[in-house]
Structure 1
Amino acid sequence: MHLTLQITESMAAVDAAEWDALTGGMPLLSHAFLSALETSGSVGGETGWQPSHMLVLDDGKLAGAMPLYIKSHSYGEYVFDWAWAEAYARNGLRYYPKLLSAIPFTPITSQRLLGGRSEIQGLMLAAVTQIMDAQQLSSAHVLFPDNDSADALNQAGWLKRDGVQFRWQNENFQDFDAFLNVLSHDKRKKIRQERNRIAASGIVCKQVKGADITPEQWAFFYRCYKNTYFEHHSSPYLTPAFFEQIGRTMPQNILLILAYADNEAVAAALNIYHRTTLYGRYWGALSYVPNLHFELCYYQAQEFCIRENIAYFEGGAQGEHKLARGFKPRPTCSYHKIAHPQFARVIADFVRRESEGVDAYTDELEQRAPFKVRPE
């Protein structure tokens, strides 16, 4: 075994089959997904996301990898360190640029140290420290790592920051009513009322898999996606070209759910999925319809998981309202390496106190579980 390490600024320089062989079939880590972000202009250029992916080669063949970006801001991360940046600025220090391992705009737990072998993981983490030192970066951050990557980060002494998200589990339900039957009476009644109101309003929902999505449906989805950002006085991160490209390169992983009123499309939700998990990603509507968000983003997706025997539905960041719709809290984490010794101590103390609050919050959520009998 002869390991060498490289940094590449473009996924186009990486063999797609070799990269995908390291990801365990995770579509949001796939070469197609990360490449689409780059070639569509959603990352790179002036976006503040500069690709700097780490590759470990074993006699010329890809044996390990780490999706890496040099960031000049903290947008699109879902682990918030704006206060850290402000503290640096108040003390006359530069927080940006920083080094980040994450899937851009995607708060999903998955591998970050691809390859799995401990010697490769150790080599990559040592290289991250060397890059920090050589480029005089303030910090390095690994967001939403899976357990295997987290173990390696723990062993390397990185600072752990705790979080919580919501996930729905398909317990081999035969249909949506079987799922409702495990909920408490009031939660079951509320969901049925919400769905009945949608039906009574004349809304019709349609689920379309990637290969069957028409150019017109993609264009309508993007209008909805863009409108969500405009309503929050923001600009969309992802370009139309990004969605067009993933529609061509990974249709087997895409589910688009559309809502129609009087045969006119009014809302859309886009999901990414594979054999075990569906990831709720993007949603938008051109006009407000009560309860339509819940129908399109949760109930339709849950029905799809039941029909396709998909075990998990990841609801993404935030949203306590997911709890009442059968989602359960689950822990997430991120890991951080801070170059400045004094700030490293201050941030470590902050993270410790924050973790106590996350634990208390999670306990509260579990006490509010919507099930008739809590699952084991």
Structure 2
Amino acid sequence: RKERREVAALDIDIRTLTGQDMTEALWDAFFGFYLNTSDRKWGQAYLTRAFFSLLSERCADDLVMIMAFEQGQPVAGALNFRGGDTLYGRNWGCSEDHKFLHFEACYYRAIDYAIAHGLTRVEAGAQGQHKVQRGYLPTATYSLHWIADPALQRPVAGFVRHEREQVEHQIDAMLIHDNPYRKAKI
């Protein structure tokens, strides 16, 4: 609640936009946010600017953008997609930092949207222990990789086996010790 109050006190207008609402100018702004996040996190910006325009053309009905504006100019955005009964959070970015704005746009507004539209789940994406205290319990995610070099298959399989055990222990510990939901009395 404190985080939401602090964001509400900012002179920022947060809007929930659909694919039809997303203009090229808004996509330009979001692409800048995306690049900024990649630069900050030492990541690789693997999506192109043209990709984002294609989202409006081909996925407009499934696209949910939560975008923050300051003095009418976009300053942050959280890209989400609807699928079945779930809202999937995918990309976040900003041009300037505002305390708790990330949590408001990516988590709280996503939950608000899901409730308002009868969705039963919000999947906020992999990683981030900070998500647990905001109501997102950890769940395992899976991926499939093909290792072309036979000499690497055994060592990679061993690493993955060890990592899987560690992740399972971490999830269990977070569910026990960091779970924000009160235990129901039976």
Q: Same fold (TM over 0.5)?
A: yes
C-alpha deviation, 1:207, in angstroms: 0.5
Matched, 1:372 2:182: yes
Q: Distance in 2 between matches of 1:351 and 1:233?
A: 23
Distance 1:260 1:341, change over 3 A: closer
1:272 to 62, 71, 81: 81
1:224 to 33, 42, 49: 33
C-alpha deviation, 1:235, in angstroms: 4.8
Distance 1:264 1:360, change over 3 A: same
Distance 1:321 1:343, change over 3 A: same
Q: 2:94 maps to what in 1?
A: 285
How many residues are aligned here?
185
2:107 to 292, 298, 306: 298
* Mapped contact 2:126–2:141 kept (Cα < 8 A): no
Q: 1:50 maps to what in 2?
A: none
Query: Percent identity over the alignment?
Result: 38
C-alpha deviation, 1:212, in angstroms: 2.0
- What one-letter code is carried by the residue in structure 1 that aligns with 2:182? K
Q: Distance in 1 between matches of 2:150 and 2:64?
A: 46
Distance 1:360 1:253, change over 3 A: same
Q: Distance in 2 between matches of 1:266 and 1:249?
A: 25
C-alpha deviation, 1:299, in angstroms: 0.7
- What one-letter code is carried by the residue in structure 1 that aligns with 2:181? F
Range that drifts further, 256-265 or 226-235: 226-235
Q: Distance in 1 between matches of 2:117 and 2:163?
A: 39
C-alpha deviation, 1:346, in angstroms: 3.6
Write out per-residue CA displacement over residues 333-374 of structure 1, whole angstroms, 9 at most, x where no aligned residue.
334565666654444433333232122111111112110126
Question: Equivalences for 1:102-113 in 2 at 5 Å?
Answer: none
Which 5+ residue runs of structure 1 have no aligned equivalent? 1-191
Q: 2:159 maps to what in 1?
A: 350
Matched, 1:255 2:64: yes
Q: Distance in 1 between matches of 2:100 and 2:148?
A: 47
- What one-letter code is carried by the residue in structure 2 that aligns with 1:358? V
Larger Rg: 1
- Secondary structure at the aligned position of 1:242 is classed as helix
Distance 1:234 1:253, change over 3 A: same
2:17 to 197, 200, 208: 208
1:317 to 126, 137, 156: 126
Question: Equivalences for 1:79-118 in 2 at 5 Å?
Answer: none
Question: Equivalences for 1:318-337 in 2 at 5 Å?
Answer: 318-335=127-144
Q: Distance in 1 between matches of 2:172 and 2:14?
A: 36
Q: 2:169 maps to what in 1?
A: 360
C-alpha deviation, 1:228, in angstroms: 1.4
- Secondary structure at the aligned position of 1:197 is classed as helix
- Secondary structure at the aligned position of 1:272 is classed as strand
Which 5+ residue runs of structure 2 have no aligned equivalent? none
Write out per-residue CA displacement over residues 162-205 of structure 1, whole angstroms, 9 at most, x where no aligned residue.
xxxxxxxxxxxxxxxxxxxxxxxxxxxxxx10010111122221
- What one-letter code is carried by the residue in structure 1 that aligns with 2:180? P
Distance 1:374 1:344, change over 3 A: farther
**How large is the Cα RMSD of the aligned pairs?**
2.3
Q: Distance in 2 between matches of 1:263 and 1:350?
A: 49
